[in-house]
């Protein structure tokens, strides 16, 4: 039950991220992915830094910026670029490829060979992605798809490195989240100014959208995400990723009047099934089998001793 609670709390992060696409397209100024990424990351990072009241020490002065660049600095601009150029459900569902990225990266960085079940489950998630993408092939934007894939690869790498490096002694997930958001925001801010120029004029809708993205969608969601990485395996965490496209699809259907074809619904169903299956530890089937075999042998030994 305790593990289930950790999974459920961690799952709130990708579920929240699924709303990013609707907020971006409906409330925010158009064609400002770098400014949006900056406003989402930097205020959230500074807020959490003030709450945590901890700065990095030693090697974490370079580790935190590396993680911040992967999980925030590169991920956010690519994410918003894809959100501006692709329909919300399609942009988000590409994130379902995350488990396959993590499975490959875990082999080299964590020394963990992915089980056949992990690869099969990841392939099922990828199949769900392909059903949605191929159905919408006529409307695909190549740059948007490339940005979505690159954002998934960036965050997958950051997830595996976060698991590999852990946290410094005495440092909780709040401080680690603050370091990464702040580092990522500082990385994006000058790029946003150089590429997009001065900040745009913001109305009430845009201010509300940015406030939601910075607080609930980033500060709280990323704290839950990095907390989950510390308590679950990298594979378990990344298999929660399909909740983002599922949430985006539901919001698109319920609030934005977007339709979903039967084939797309099948793809979403496969992604959800992969999420559920990915939460079972890789060795659980083998452990259950070995436990049953051991129990049988113990019983046989007891019978012979009689």
- If pLDDT is split at 50, 70 and 90, which confidence band does 208 have? very high
Q: How confident is the model at residue 290 (pLDDT cuts 50, 70, 90)?
A: very low
Between 202 and 138, residue with greater pLDDT: 202
Q: What is the model's pLDDT at position 135?
A: 53
How much is the average pLDDT of 54-61?
A: 94
CA–CA gap between residue 176 and residue 229 (Å, rounded): 11
The CA-based angle 144-146-151, given to 5 degrees, is: 95
Cα 169 to the chain's mean position, in Å?
25
Residue 200 has pLDDT above 80, yes or no: yes
Predicted confidence band of residue 77 (pLDDT cuts 50, 70, 90): confident
Task: Give the start-end residues of each E strand in 66-209.
Answer: none
For residue 202, give the 3-state DSSP assignment: coil
At residue 89, the pLDDT reads 55
51: phi then psi, degrees, rounded to nearest 5: -75, -40
Domain range list for the chain: 2-305
DSSP class of residue 232?
Answer: S
The mean pLDDT value for 284-304 works out to 40
Q: CA 213 to CA 76: how far, in whole Å?
A: 11
In the block, which residue shows the tokens 């150089």?
A: 194
In whole angstroms, give the CA distance from residue 239 to residue 37.
24
Q: Which of 11-20, 165-174, 237-246, 291-300 has the lowest mean pLDDT?
A: 291-300
Sign for the pseudo-dihedral over CA of 33, 34, 36, 40 = positive
Of 246 and 197, more confident: 197
Cα–Cα dist 56/48, whole Å: 14
Residue found under tokens 């992605």 = 129
Distance of CA 17 to the CA centre of its chain: 8
| Beta-carbon count within 10 A of 50 CB | 9
What's the pLDDT at 12? Answer: 93
Question: Which pLDDT band holds residue 188 (cuts at 50, 70, 90)?
Answer: very high
Higher pLDDT, 131 or 66: 66
User: How many angstroms separate the CA atoms of 200 and 161, rounded?
Assistant: 35
pTM of the model: 0.81
Q: Give me the pLDDT at residue 210, please.
A: 95
Mean pLDDT of the chain: 81
pLDDT exceeds cutoff 90 at 85: no
Tell me: pLDDT of 189 over 50.
yes
- Asked if pLDDT for residue 287 goes beyond 90, the answer is no
Two tokens at 262? 């039967």
- Rounded Cα gap, residues 78 and 144, in angstroms: 9
């Amino acid at each position: 039950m305790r593990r289930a609670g950790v999974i459920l709390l961690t799952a709130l992060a990708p579920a929240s991220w699924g709303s990013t696409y609707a907020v971006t397209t409906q409330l925010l100024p158009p064609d400002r992915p770098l400014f949006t990424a900056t406003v989402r990351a930097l205020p959230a990072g500074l807020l959490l830094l003030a709450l945590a009241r901890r700065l990095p020490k030693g090697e974490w002065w370079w580790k935190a910026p590396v993680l911040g660049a992967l999980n925030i600095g590169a991920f956010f601009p690519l994410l918003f670029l894809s959100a501006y150029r692709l329909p919300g459900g399609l942009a988000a569902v590409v994130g379902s490829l995350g488990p396959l990225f993590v499975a490959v990266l875990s082999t080299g960085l964590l020394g963990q060979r992915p089980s056949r079940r992990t690869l099969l489950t990841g392939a099922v998630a990828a199949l769900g992605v392909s059903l949605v993408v191929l159905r919408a092939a006529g409307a695909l934007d190549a740059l948007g798809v490339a940005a979505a894939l690159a954002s998934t690869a960036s965050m997958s790498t950051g997830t595996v490195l976060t698991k590999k490096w852990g946290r410094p002694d005495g440092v909780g997930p709040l401080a680690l989240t603050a370091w990464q958001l702040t580092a990522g925001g500082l990385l994006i801010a000058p790029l946003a100014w150089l590429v997009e120029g001065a900040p745009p004029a913001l109305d009430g809708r845009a201010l509300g959208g940015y406030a939601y993205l910075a607080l609930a969608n980033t500060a709280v969601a990323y704290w839950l995400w990095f907390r989950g990485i510390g308590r679950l395996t990298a594979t378990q965490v990344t298999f929660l990723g399909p909740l983002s496209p599922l949430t985006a699809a539901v919001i698109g259907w319920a609030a934005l009047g977007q339709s979903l074809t039967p084939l797309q619904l099948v793809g979403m169903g496969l992604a959800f099934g992969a999420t559920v299956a990915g939460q079972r530890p890789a060795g659980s089937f083998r452990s259950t089998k070995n436990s049953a075999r051991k129990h049988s042998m113990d019983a046989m030994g007891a019978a012979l001793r009689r």
